[in-house]
Structure 1
């Protein structure tokens, strides 16, 4: 009999990394033979969408009972955890749901903070305590959880962030290029470090042809609510001040998969100039590696773990000179881009959504088997 997963998460058409992750994982779980029922976390009731069986409206703690009932109708609850998506201080309302769940719980941590507040620490500790098993997407996240929260190592497992294959098989669909292209993509907001990337690009003005820098992605919906397009406008002013108008392109669309595939395929190097030293998970990084693209990235934990084997160059954060030097190496050093792509291809099979969904399916089966054994 197929395992039925109850997924608690944001979900498309919501535009955020967690929703994208949950949609891809749900699709591939179904493809692997599982059933999936989604409890979608929303700010207000939304029109029905496929796979969604219930909506949990944030800010209404009394809805926890119905959300838990929907999860209890499944075999295994699969909870996607990020502080910002659930109601209450630091997303504490999720605890009311978890307290009512009676089936095994797999909680996937998308953030494990290096320096949480006391309340953030308490919330995550209680989330982990309410879970049968906790998943981090990197070993760095696992070690941080064990050291910072005193979690039993046996209860924490690592399953990589999955990625779709952004390689375009028919290279004729990509536009002919006259200059190398540097690409950063994903939802835009403070902390992405684009300002440092722009200053780095200004230091590459001697290269011929000059590299083009594409910044692709709309502003994060939560950022739009809070501060509108202030960050994007600040970047646009910086482009003008640095005289980069001819070589920097902003694309503020939220792209469908085929369009993004073409854009990634056309890039010579992916740049991740993120500010945060804490980031233990990056879906964009995973997709860049699976696409076989050389990566220049600041040394956040996920990048250190994934790129240290040769798939990318790690640079200090907020350091335009170092970022520029990394880009210069990839764009000018003979054979380097090819060797980085080869290293990426070696990592790709274990990062595919098919492989990742298979691991979640296996984990769910283990939990159900253990539950049956203990009940016997």
Structure 2
């Protein structure tokens, strides 16, 4: 969007009225990254004044067994549902659209355009993916979404620069608010200890990868690194269900390939692949049990990683491949960057952290400096401020 068409004024005079906010997204019990993100953001936003409502995106086959915070359902493929959702969203002061290409109906999720362009209230767009080399249709969709919204929130500086340099979005139309993370202080004395967590009496170092599984996660390369770690006898925990979209299309093909990789490398005594989807208290304890978090992702394009944010917020040293979000966050000293698909480099980086205590402590110190701004409470505060600003801007302009 050019400067002449930008609707967002960065510093308007903010009203004392807390705006009502509707969040359009997938939402639990759907299990995906956007649903988890929106649930955590809702929990913090709802602690302040101003009504917060969820409009849950779901497939026709999914059940509507949602909580009272869900004020409407957008059933993909249903025109009547889409029309009803537009009416519901227009009852709020501000709408926040969570966007991934795969969650809305139509090719590349293009059905979201009708909704976004029909809204009469100030709107915030949160793109979880900003592709460096989109297809023409993907580019067209994101261009129109940006034009339809008053403000774009990216979660990284990398995504912000991509929108400016590759998509021509005016910088005054964008703000950066990081992906939120668990406040681990909340769970430090929690009684729940997941079965995945090694016993405190277990002296074996713990390497952890977690999240929804599917091709591109790069876990096969991490498994290939484990034979070279045998002298340290680590436990490499891979915790996560197969992503629902991957499961629907390919079944458990990827998970089975990982099991075969474990057998081929003869590391069944080191690698534990667990198909669990963890709630926040269990996830917090699991992350805290790790000596190092490993993100072996294949993609050179990933601008946002909730797993990376959680690891840093928990003060865990990180070894990650060189995707943009990792390069942005870890170069301050909280982790080590390795090339993609390089088991030898992963092994050497893991070995450094597990055998150099001072290095691990220094990484934890850097992570502790980053953590306060990443906690969900701080993130929600910035969303509240952004919502109040665009609501006030629209009122001021009219």
Query: What is the aligned counterpart of 1:29 among 36, 45, 62?
Result: 45
Number of the residue aligned with 1:5: 21
Query: What is the aligned counterpart of 1:182 among 207, 216, 220?
Result: 207
Matched, 1:71 2:89: yes
Query: What is the aligned counterpart of 1:141 among 159, 172, 178?
Result: 159
Number of the residue aligned with 1:275: 298
CA distance in 1, matches of 2:85, 2:118: 9
Q: Residue 258 of structure 1: CA displacement?
A: 2.0
Query: What is the aligned counterpart of 2:231 among 178, 194, 206?
Result: 206
Query: What is the aligned counterpart of 2:34 among 14, 18, 22?
Result: 18
Map 1:89-128 to 2 at 5 A.
89-128=107-146
Gaps of 5+ in 1: none
**Stretch deviating more after TM superposition (57-66 or 262-271):** 57-66
CA distance in 1, matches of 2:338, 2:80: 47
Number of the residue aligned with 2:14: none
Which secondary structure state, in structure 1, belongs to the residue aligned with residue 217 of structure 2? coil
Offset from partner CA, 1:306-334 (integer Å, 9 cap, x none):
11100000111111111111101101123
CA distance in 2, matches of 1:206, 1:253: 29
Which secondary structure state, in structure 1, belongs to the residue aligned with residue 67 of structure 2? coil
CA distance in 2, matches of 1:234, 1:372: 56
Matched, 1:169 2:205: no
Number of aligned positions between the proteins: 373
Q: Tell me how large the CA RMSD over aligned residues is.
A: 1.4
Query: What is the aligned counterpart of 1:229 among 230, 252, 260?
Result: 252
Number of the residue aligned with 2:281: 258
Give runs of ≥4 in structure 1 deviating > 6 Å: none
Which secondary structure state, in structure 2, belongs to the residue aligned with residue 95 of structure 1? helix
TM value normalised by structure 1? 0.96
Which secondary structure state, in structure 2, belongs to the residue aligned with residue 83 of structure 1? coil
Offset from partner CA, 1:166-206 (integer Å, 9 cap, x none):
46524996721220000000011111000000011122123
Which secondary structure state, in structure 1, belongs to the residue aligned with residue 231 of structure 2? coil
CA distance in 1, matches of 2:190, 2:173: 45
Matched, 1:302 2:321: no
CA distance in 1, matches of 2:152, 2:33: 19
CA distance in 1, matches of 2:68, 2:332: 40
CA distance in 1, matches of 2:367, 2:376: 16
Residues 127, 153 of structure 2: 8 Å contact kept:
yes
Residues 65, 100 of structure 1: 8 Å contact kept:
no
Number of the residue aligned with 2:12: none
Task: Name the CA shift for 1:270/1:277 in 2 (closer, same or farther; >3 Å).
Answer: same
Residues 184, 214 of structure 1: 8 Å contact kept:
yes
Q: Residue 60 of structure 1: CA displacement?
A: 2.3
Greater relative contact order (CA < 8 Å, ≥ 6 in sequence): 2
Q: Residue 224 of structure 1: CA displacement?
A: 0.8
Map 1:28-67 to 2 at 5 A.
28-44=44-60, 46-67=64-85
Matched, 1:191 2:209: no
**Stretch deviating more after TM superposition (88-97 or 39-48):** 39-48
Query: What is the aligned counterpart of 1:215 among 238, 241, 244?
Result: 238
Query: What is the aligned counterpart of 1:83 among 66, 76, 101?
Result: 101
**Stretch deviating more after TM superposition (232-241 or 28-37):** 28-37
Matched, 1:335 2:353: no
CA distance in 1, matches of 2:375, 2:49: 17
Task: Name the CA shift for 1:312/1:24 in 2 (closer, same or farther; >3 Å).
Answer: same
Which secondary structure state, in structure 2, belongs to the residue aligned with residue 31 of structure 1? coil
Gaps of 5+ in 2: 1-16
Residues 32, 358 of structure 1: 8 Å contact kept:
no
CA distance in 1, matches of 2:23, 2:279: 23
Query: What is the aligned counterpart of 1:319 among 338, 342, 345?
Result: 342
